[in-house]
């Protein structure tokens, strides 16, 4: 069984491994590319070569030069083991001015690669005399690859893509590599290669030059200049809050590079954070394009920089966790609706008052007519007149108290289950009063017609 010391040691080792992994992922831009110790060297030094004697790979400030061989030719490469599978962006100038394709098969890059048990699996991108070719290597013996002069890369690998090369001695190249694709931009000409990510061998990379066997003293030189390698990261760029500092979801942002091109876009999550994927070092501008629901749009355009370690630097030169946007709640629409509602209520009350006044006027006129008619009628007519007068009095009582609601009434609205509103009750009483008045007038008129 493990004792306490063994358990503690195991935990420490595990923590060290985790820290190492994090440090690899945090490596955003590699600055030591032109340092010999950065690379794993696969080459040799010659002393009796008719074309060139010395190291066949030379690293100088901002330049890595590959020198060829005479009759017995080999393949040389610099190799870097790497763990992070996020997008890698290689920016480089390939200088072919001293390339001699009589002795050179091609030169270029190793990407998405791994070496296990001295066998290499991965992709090789070669600038050949007329084409830009991409090969897939599977379990190729590294020693044989380096030292067999009679074989080319094309003999070891499977060609998966070939395009005509830009006819120029200088190639300004941007190479973007992920487990799913390779995108090569050569002097603004773009080549996209889709990969089977289920067969992704690894994340190592390197530079390679492959020579062909010949029988002369011609020397071929290929130069890789201005090389930079950026490892993309997923970075939380923007945060959205209200005026009280509460996080807000569903705000959409767009991020522009220094040329004004949209390079990233996305929406804040439930924590109010927008995280951009595969972000590389550079200068950017971010702006909000769609605000959160119920909030006014923040129209600020904010500049920021992603440094070599993946940190966000704001316009003031301060390192910040995110670029923050504050959104105000929409209030104008709610206030407008409230005013409209109040105006409607006032208009309804005015209409009710007008209807009450009109009803009282009608009732008074009707009462006078009924009184005159009752003086000319018999006792029955007088009785009817009195009845009608009582109806009018009841109508007047109702019209004088239109807003009074019987709290004991169970006359609820069948749709809502609520008691009728005051305005609706007053309209109903007015209508009943008017109907009662006209019924009284009709009865009196009818009786006068009969007696006549």
The pLDDT assigned to 207 comes to 97
Question: Which pLDDT band, with edges at 50, 70 and 90, does 223 fall under?
Answer: very high
Q: What are 206's strand-pairing partners?
A: 79, 110
Is residue 252 within 8 Å of residue 289, measured between CB atoms? Answer: yes
The pLDDT assigned to 309 comes to 80
The pLDDT assigned to 439 comes to 72
Q: What are 79's strand-pairing partners?
A: 40, 206
Q: What are 174's strand-pairing partners?
A: 91, 185
Q: What is the mean pLDDT of the chain?
A: 78
Distance, in Å, from the CA atom of 129 to the CA atom of 152, rounded to the nearest integer, reads: 14
DSSP state of 29: B
Q: Which of 25-34, 224-233, 294-303, 433-442 has the highest mean pLDDT?
A: 294-303
Domain boundaries, the chain: 25-231, 233-326, 332-451
Minimal CA–CA distance to 287: which of 274, 270, 278?
274
Does pLDDT of 38 surpass 60?
A: yes
Does pLDDT of 54 surpass 50?
A: yes
- Tokens at 282, concatenated: 């550079």
Does pLDDT of 261 surpass 70?
A: yes
Does pLDDT of 224 surpass 70?
A: yes
The pLDDT assigned to 378 comes to 40
Minimal CA–CA distance to 331: which of 430, 267, 242, 442?
242
Is residue 102 within 8 Å of residue 129, measured between CB atoms? Answer: no
CATH superfamily of 25-231: Exo-inulinase; domain 1 (2.60.120.560)
The pLDDT assigned to 5 comes to 54
Question: Between these two residues, 53 and 395, which has the higher pLDDT value?
Answer: 53
Distance, in Å, from the CA atom of 163 to the CA atom of 56, rounded to the nearest integer, reads: 29
User: Stretch 166-192: mean pLDDT, rounded?
Assistant: 95
Burial 407-426 (b: 16+ CB within 10 A, else e): eeeeeeeeeeeebbeeeebb
> CA 405: distance to chain centroid?
57
Question: For the domain with range 233-326, which CATH number is right: 3.90.550.10, 3.40.50.1100, 2.60.40.10, 3.40.50.20?
Answer: 2.60.40.10
Is residue 26 within 8 Å of residue 309, measured between CB atoms? Answer: yes
Does pLDDT of 416 surpass 60?
A: no
User: Stretch 165-185: mean pLDDT, rounded?
Assistant: 95
One-character DSSP codes across 227-282: EEEEE-EEEEEEEEE-TTS-B----EEEEE-TTS-EEEEEE--TTSEEEEEEE-SE
Is residue 26 within 8 Å of residue 310, measured between CB atoms? Answer: yes
Does pLDDT of 363 surpass 50?
A: no
State pTM to two decimals. Answer: 0.61
**Do the domains 233-326 and 25-231 match in fold?**
no
| pLDDT > 70 fraction of the chain, expressed in percent and rounded | 67
User: Stretch 73-83: mean pLDDT, rounded?
Assistant: 94
Does pLDDT of 97 surpass 90?
A: yes
Does pLDDT of 267 surpass 80?
A: yes
- Sequence length of the chain is 452
Does pLDDT of 214 surpass 70?
A: yes
β 233-241/323-326 pair status: parallel
The pLDDT assigned to 71 comes to 84
């Amino acid at each position: 069984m493990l004792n306490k010391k063994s358990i503690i040691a195991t935990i420490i080792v595990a923590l060290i491994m985790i820290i190492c992994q994090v440090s690899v992922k945090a490596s955003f831009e590699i600055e030591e590319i032109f340092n010999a110790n950065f690379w794993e060297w696969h080459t040799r030094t010659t002393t009796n070569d008719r074309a060139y004697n010395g190291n066949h790979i030379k690293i100088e400030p901002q330049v890595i030069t590959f020198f060829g061989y005479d009759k017995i030719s080999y393949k040389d490469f610099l190799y870097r083991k790497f763990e992070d599978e996020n997008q890698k962006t290689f920016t480089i100038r390939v200088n072919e001015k001293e390339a001699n394709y009589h002795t050179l098969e091609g030169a270029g890059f190793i990407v998405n690669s791994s070496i296990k048990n001295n066998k290499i699996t991965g992709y090789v991108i070669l600038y050949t005399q007329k084409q830009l070719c991409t090969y897939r290597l599977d379990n190729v013996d590294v020693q044989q690859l380096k030292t067999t002069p009679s074989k080319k890369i094309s003999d070891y690998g499977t060609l998966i893509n070939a395009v005509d090369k830009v006819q120029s001695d200088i190639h300004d190249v941007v190479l973007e590599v992920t487990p799913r694709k390779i995108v090569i931009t050569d002097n603004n000409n773009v080549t996209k290669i889709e990969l089977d990510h289920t067969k992704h061998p690894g994340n190592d990379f390197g530079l390679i030059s492959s020579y062909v066997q010949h029988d002369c003293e011609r020397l071929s030189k290929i130069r890789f200049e201005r090389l930079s390698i950026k490892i993309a990261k997923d970075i939380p760029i923007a945060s959205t809050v209200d005026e009280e500092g509460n996080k807000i979801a569903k705000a959409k942002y767009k991020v522009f590079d220094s040329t004004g091109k949209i390079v990233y876009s996305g929406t804040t999550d439930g924590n109010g954070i927008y995280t951009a994927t595969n972000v590389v070092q550079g200068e950017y501008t971010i702006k909000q394009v769609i605000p959160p629901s119920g909030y006014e749009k923040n129209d600020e355009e904010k500049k920021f920089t992603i440094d070599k370690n993946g940190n966000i630097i704001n316009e003031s030169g301060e390192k910040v966790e995110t670029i923050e946007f504050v959104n105000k709640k929409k209030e104008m629409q709610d206030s407008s609706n409230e005013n409209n509602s109040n105006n409607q209520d006032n208009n309804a009350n005015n209409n009710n008052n007008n209807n009450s006044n009109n009803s009282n006027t009608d009732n008074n006129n009707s009462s006078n007519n009924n009184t005159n008619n009752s003086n000319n009628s018999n006792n029955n007519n007088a009785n009817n007149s009195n009845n009608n007068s009582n109806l009018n009095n009841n109508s007047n009582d109702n019209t004088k108290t239109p807003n009074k609601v019987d709290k004991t009434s169970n006359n609820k609205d069948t749709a809502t289950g609520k008691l009728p509103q005051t305005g609706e009750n007053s309209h109903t009483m007015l209508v009943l009063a008017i109907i009662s008045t006209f019924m009284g007038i009709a009865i009196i008129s009818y009786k006068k017609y009969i007696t006549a």
